[in-house]
Structure 1
Amino acid sequence: MAMKPSGSKLKSCTLSFIFLSLTLFLLTANFLPKPRRTDVRHLRDEYPRWWYKVVAQEVNWRTKIKVGLVNMEDGLGQHSELDGLAEIITVNFDRADENLKWDDFFPEWIDEDGKWGSPSCPDIPMPRFEDYGELDLIVARVPCGGGGGERNGGIRDIFRLQVNLMVANMLVRSRWVNQEEGDRTVYAVFIGSCGPMWEIFRCDDLLWHEGDYRVYRPDLGRLQQRVLMPFGSCQLAPPYPKPGQQFWKSDAPKPREAYVTVLHSTEAYVCGAITLAQSIIQTNSTKDLVLLADSSISKKSLNGLRTAGWKVKLIERIRSPHAKTDAYNEWNYSKLRIWELTEYDKVIFIDSDLIVLKNMDRFFFYPQLSAAGNDKVLFNSGVMMVEPSKCTFETLMEKRYEVSSYNGGDQGFLNEMFTWWHRWPSKLNHLKIFTKEHNKGHRMPKDLYTIHYLGMKPWMCYMDYDCNWDMSNHRHFASDDAHRRWWQVYKAMPRRLQPHCGLTAGMDKRMRKWRGRAREANLSDGHWKIKVKDPRKHHF
């Protein structure tokens, strides 16, 4: 009776087979005349036979490829069959300090203005890239962190990040043979149960997946954007490149880009979305405006939204599986629909309770997922850069039941799905909240790109002042300065749009109740004494 092969031998044989197959595929893909190239897409379902069909038709046995091994202490095992086909190089590197933690790279706060010095990140050692030249293929064993990752949350592991960044940098540095020949095609094989970090290696670039083995053909332009980013949110994402300094080719197609917001479950934010669109238009943006709306939005409101500048797309809302019934965030997972906008390369999502004060078009340069910080290691999903993708949307939908959300809504979920993110300045998503006593007048900072209106929204208050002043548990959200800026946008919009921000009898009754309570409490700010002159009050 034949002896049963050991697990290590089986893994070695499997890896050797995959490596040989990919080697032959690379030889086929990169070194033969285009007229002889075979379209292998229709053969993919016949794995492993499709590799051999490619080889039989097109392989050039006289050409070697160059292969780099990352975090492969045992090499490739038995690969004598590769003799004459590949030059195999082990990539040497120093492992990141094991005492480093994720929140060292994703702190809650950094000195964005550099008042006390420029923020910096801890070091993650990289190989001496110049020692390895241009590679055709990189094979890497990717750790999962914590013995396989967290069951109900994202993986936050420094060594895992280090391996992924090493592979990404080596692929990008192998992008060009020379400037005349243009881009090369470079491949990566990842070994490990959890696969590579999808924040770095897009699911769109996955060619083949079997068990613990995944083969990628990365979009090197997008990948280069990612390796330009800091190791974490410990530093701001670097300034966008000036004209003529971009890393992409001047003849590359113009990217398709848009601002997007979502309305679902209620019409309470229709006015906010109309004002948001007008605020973007008033900054002379050249990008499309796209609004996703579910069936709760009336035809009248949809017409108003289109008139305001939005391209409206109808959607079915998505329930947040971790939210309580009838909670404010019960249907917030509807925001995941923005990943379905695959007619665009990039979109900047903006919640409909914001206004834009300065042109933000330059920030489309940054990769997914870029956002301002929130607290702890988290970002705020009220303004964020997203790269639409069918497979990303499908993955998010698949994972929404098993991945937890700290707040039951989309922000908690997305922070577990995108643990490696890029910090935008807080002035791109300035939260209207005041926690410091020295700013008693609640004045807004200068040079803001947006204001994110927390608490009661401006259109839900009288035009005369911020009604958050009248509620003791909302006073930290109150700012007459921010309130005034929102109404400036309202007054500048076409008059035919203003009725969508009308004051209803119910809203008026609610505000009179709050004013009465503020008067009874004799609140010292005295806003309850202001005579209301809001012209909307006479038209509900």
Structure 2
Amino acid sequence: MVLGQSLRNHKTSRKLVVMIGPHVSDPSRAVLHRIYDEVRLVDVLDSGDTANLAMMKRPDLGVTFTKLHCWTLTHYSKCVFMDADTLVVSNVDELFDREELSAAPDPGWPDCFNSGVFVFRPSKETYGRLLQFCTEHGSFDGGDQGVLNAFFSDWATTDINKHLPFIYNLSSVAIYTYAPAFKQFGSNAKVVHFLGNTKPWSYSYDPKARTVKGDVQAASSHPSFLLQWWTLYATFVVPMMHQEYGDTPFHSGCEEEMATAPPPPPMSSLERKQRWEQGQADYMGVDSFDNIQKKLDAFLK
């Protein structure tokens, strides 16, 4: 919702499409319909590669295979994919002048591109080849970035025009800081990417004081971007959420509402089991890898 609204605020002239899984609630879908031109329901794809995901300590990234569905958007000739944890801070329509597969270098290994933002051409043939590649070769990191870098393996060496400047995928995470470069080029940032385990929605926000609550400095080298995310969310998205949810309480993350809103009722064991069977586990919450590990440890003891 925040990503789409940031694109709208910066006057994009392009159609906006969001891909969602079946777990997204009806009120949230309604808000997405208000922001995006098209809301497309897709199946959740999971790499199931626990070994490589454990190496990165990111078991949640297996489901990022779902983004491969973007190649099925064949009613468009060219698209720009953007992860949900990105924020547009300036108009980026010029990205459509680039060709497939254009992306910015990953800050952790610059010979690989970061798959949070990339230009591509939808194609059923490419989609089929990608799925076949996943089946035959898997992913070297267990997530979508490994498989896409292996599939588009000539990105690092063939055409420099397919290397997007870092300002189109600027990492906000402290471990990737190059302070002099940020001082020189940071004001030209176009897209901020909130990499890592801790996302903007992991915090809470005080709208009156306009401050983000939590260990902001530890997770972000540029807290101003985090504040931008929350300001946009509280100003534009939360009012739409209230309209769609009506009298049904929801957790907005804004502190003044958290004090008055009752907690959501706990999910029954049967309901949780049904969600698991439908591929709708709460990967980031109660069904996270860490919680499952704790359960196993307690059982084995």
Q: TM-score, normalised by structure 2?
A: 0.70
% of aligned pairs identical? 26
Residues 501-520 of structure 1: matches in 2 within 5 Å? 504=251
Going from structure 1 to structure 2, the CA distance change for 1:363 and 1:480 (only over 3 Å counts) comes to same
- Name the counterpart of 2:141: 407
Instruction: Pick from 255, 263, 272 the counterpart of residue 534 of structure 1.
Output: 255
Going from structure 1 to structure 2, the CA distance change for 1:298 and 1:281 (only over 3 Å counts) comes to same
Instruction: Pick from 102, 111, 121 the counterpart of residue 370 of structure 1.
Output: 102
- Name the counterpart of 2:15: 288
Question: How many Å separate the matches in 1 of 2:171 and 2:14?
Answer: 24
Is contact 1:323-1:409 (8 Å) kept? no
Is contact 1:456-1:467 (8 Å) kept? no
- Name the counterpart of 2:164: 424
Aligned-partner SS, 1:295:
coil
Residues 94-493 of structure 1: matches in 2 within 5 Å? 274-323=1-50, 327-374=59-106, 375-421=109-155, 422-435=162-175, 445-454=186-195, 455-463=197-205, 464-465=211-212, 467-469=214-216, 475-477=218-220, 479-493=222-236
AA partner of residue 214 (structure 2):
C
Aligned-partner SS, 1:381:
strand
Structure with more of its chain in helix, by fraction: 2
Question: How many Å separate the matches in 1 of 2:4 and 2:240?
Answer: 11
CA shift, 1:372, in A, is 0.5
Is contact 2:216-2:223 (8 Å) kept? no
Deviations 1:138-157 (A, max 9, x none): xxxxxxxxxxxxxxxxxxxx
Aligned-partner SS, 1:400:
helix
AA partner of residue 15 (structure 2):
D
Going from structure 1 to structure 2, the CA distance change for 1:536 and 1:451 (only over 3 Å counts) comes to farther
Question: How many Å separate the matches in 2 of 1:436 and 1:393?
Answer: 32
CA shift, 1:446, in A, is 1.1
Is contact 2:169-2:191 (8 Å) kept? yes
CA shift, 1:332, in A, is 1.5
Aligned-partner SS, 1:465:
strand
Question: How many Å separate the matches in 1 of 2:237 and 2:201?
Answer: 16
CA shift, 1:305, in A, is 1.0
Question: How many Å separate the matches in 2 of 1:335 and 1:396?
Answer: 11
Question: How many Å separate the matches in 1 of 2:178 and 2:138?
Answer: 38
AA partner of residue 202 (structure 2):
M
Is contact 1:372-1:428 (8 Å) kept? yes
Aligned-partner SS, 1:306:
helix
CA shift, 1:321, in A, is 4.5
- Name the counterpart of 1:58: none
The structure showing larger relative contact order (alpha-carbon pairs under 8 Å, at least 6 residues apart) is 2
Is contact 1:291-1:312 (8 Å) kept? yes
Aligned-partner SS, 2:39:
strand
AA partner of residue 167 (structure 2):
K
Going from structure 1 to structure 2, the CA distance change for 1:468 and 1:281 (only over 3 Å counts) comes to same
Question: How many Å separate the matches in 1 of 2:221 and 2:251?
Answer: 22
Deviations 1:34-58 (A, max 9, x none): xxxxxxxxxxxxxxxxxxxxxxxxx
CA shift, 1:385, in A, is 0.5
RMSD over aligned CA atoms reads: 3.0
Question: How many Å separate the matches in 2 of 1:403 and 1:379?
Answer: 19
- Name the counterpart of 1:167: none
Aligned-partner SS, 2:231:
helix
Going from structure 1 to structure 2, the CA distance change for 1:387 and 1:503 (only over 3 Å counts) comes to same
Going from structure 1 to structure 2, the CA distance change for 1:295 and 1:494 (only over 3 Å counts) comes to closer
AA partner of residue 358 (structure 1):
S
Is contact 1:336-1:393 (8 Å) kept? yes
Going from structure 1 to structure 2, the CA distance change for 1:371 and 1:466 (only over 3 Å counts) comes to farther
Question: How many Å separate the matches in 2 of 1:503 and 1:314?
Answer: 22
Question: How many Å separate the matches in 1 of 2:250 and 2:41?
Answer: 27
Going from structure 1 to structure 2, the CA distance change for 1:450 and 1:539 (only over 3 Å counts) comes to farther
Unaligned runs of 5+ in 1: 1-273, 508-532
Question: How many Å separate the matches in 1 of 2:177 and 2:91?
Answer: 31
Which runs of structure 1 show a deviation greater than 6 angstroms over 4 or more consecutive aligned residues? 500-503
Question: How many Å separate the matches in 2 of 1:438 and 1:321?
Answer: 34
Of structures 1 and 2, the larger Rg is shown by: 1
Question: How many Å separate the matches in 2 of 1:397 and 1:383?
Answer: 20
Aligned-partner SS, 1:378:
strand
Deviations 1:368-418 (A, max 9, x none): 000000114100000000100010000111110222422100000000000
Question: How many Å separate the matches in 2 of 1:344 and 1:350?
Answer: 16
Residues 55-70 of structure 1: matches in 2 within 5 Å? none
Is contact 1:372-1:424 (8 Å) kept? yes
AA partner of residue 98 (structure 2):
Y
AA partner of residue 462 (structure 1):
S
Going from structure 1 to structure 2, the CA distance change for 1:276 and 1:414 (only over 3 Å counts) comes to same
